[in-house]
Amino acid sequence: MQQTNGGLILGLDIGTTTISAAVADPEAGRQIGADTVQNDSGLLFLEKFRREQDPERIISAAIRLAETVLEEYPGIGAIGVTGQMHGIVYINAEGKAVSNLMTWQDGRAAEHLPGGNTACEIIRRRTGREISPGYGFATHYYNQLAGLVPEDAVSFCTIMDYLVMRMTGRKIPVVHASNAAGFGLFDSTRCSFEPRAAAALGIEPAFLPSVTGKSLIMGYFRKIPVAIAIGDNQAAFIGAVREEEAGLLVNFGTGSQISFIAHGEKSGDSLELRPFVGERYLLSGSALCGGRAYAMLERFFREYAEAAGFPAESQYAVLNKLAEKARREKAVLPVQTTFCGTRKNPELRGSILEIGEENFTPGQMALGFLRGMARELYDLYRSGGQHKAKMLVASGNAVQKNPVLQELLADVFEMELRIPVVREEAAFGASLFAAVCSGLYSVEEVKTCIHYQGELI
Quote the pLDDT of residue 386.
Answer: 62
Question: Does residue 219 have a pLDDT over 50?
Answer: yes
Note whether residue 136 is domain-resident.
yes
- pLDDT-derived band of residue 80, with 50, 70 and 90 as boundaries? very high
58: exposed, middle or buried (Cβ count in 10 Å: 0-12, 13-18, 19+): buried
Q: What is the mean pLDDT of residues 190-218?
A: 94
Say what the pLDDT of residue 267 is.
58
DSSP string spanning 7-63?
-EEEEEEE-SSEEEEEEEETTTTEEEEEEEEE---EE--SSTT--EE-HHHHHHHHH
Q: Confirm if 208 and 403 have CB atoms less than 8 A apart.
A: no
Would 259 be classed as within a structural domain? no
Cβ neighbours of residue 46 closer than 8 Å, sequence gap 6 or more? none
User: 18 - beta bridge partners?
Assistant: 38
| Structure confidence by residue, pLDDT tens digits, 366-395 | 999 999 999 999 988 888 666 678 889 998
Q: Work out how many domains the chain is built from and give that number.
A: 1
Domain-embedded: residue 404: no
Between 14-18, 161-165, 225-229, 384-388, the lowest mean confidence (pLDDT) is in 384-388
Instruction: Work out the mean pLDDT of the chain and round it to a whole number.
Output: 91
Distance CA 116, CA 114 (A): 5
Euclidean distance between CA atoms 10 and 70, whole angstroms: 8
- Asked whether residue 392 is domain-assigned, the answer is no
Residue 144 domain flag: yes
CA 119 – CA 149 distance, rounded (Å): 14
Residues 245-256: tens digit of each pLDDT: 889 999 887 778
Residue 248 inside a domain? The answer is no
CA distance 204 to 269: 29
Contact 410, 393 (CB under 8 A): no
Helix (H, G, I), strand (E, B) or coil at 152: coil
Of the ranges 213-227, 387-401, 411-425, which is most confident? 213-227
pLDDT digits (tens, 9 = 90+) for 306-328: 999 999 899 999 999 999 999 99
Sign of CA dihedral 262, 230, 176, 233: positive
Closest CA to 224 of 27, 29, 429, 440: 440
Query: What pLDDT shows up at residue 387?
Result: 64
- Find all residues with CB under 8 Å of 453, minimum gap 6, and list them: 418, 419, 420, 421
441: in domain? yes
Phi, psi dihedrals of residue 35, rounded to the nearest 5°: -150, 155
DSSP 289: S
pLDDT band at 2 (very low <50, low <70, confident <90, very high): very low
Give 268's pLDDT tier (boundaries 50, 70, 90): low
Higher per-residue pLDDT: 102 or 292:
102
CA–CA separation, 392 and 414 (whole Å): 9
Whether the Cβ atoms of residue 22 and residue 431 lie closer than 8 Å to each other: yes
193 forms beta bridges with 186
* Whether the predicted pLDDT of 291 surpasses 90: no
Give one DSSP letter per residue of 58-84, joined into a string. HHHHHHHHHHHHHHH-TTEEEEEEEE-
Here the CATH number for the domain that contains residue 143 is 3.30.420.40
Q: What is the mean pLDDT of residues 50-59?
A: 97
Q: Is residue 89 part of a domain?
A: yes
Percent of the chain at pLDDT above 90? 77
Domain span including residue 54: 8-233+424-447
151: which DSSP letter? T
pLDDT tens digits for 93-115? 999 999 999 999 999 999 999 98
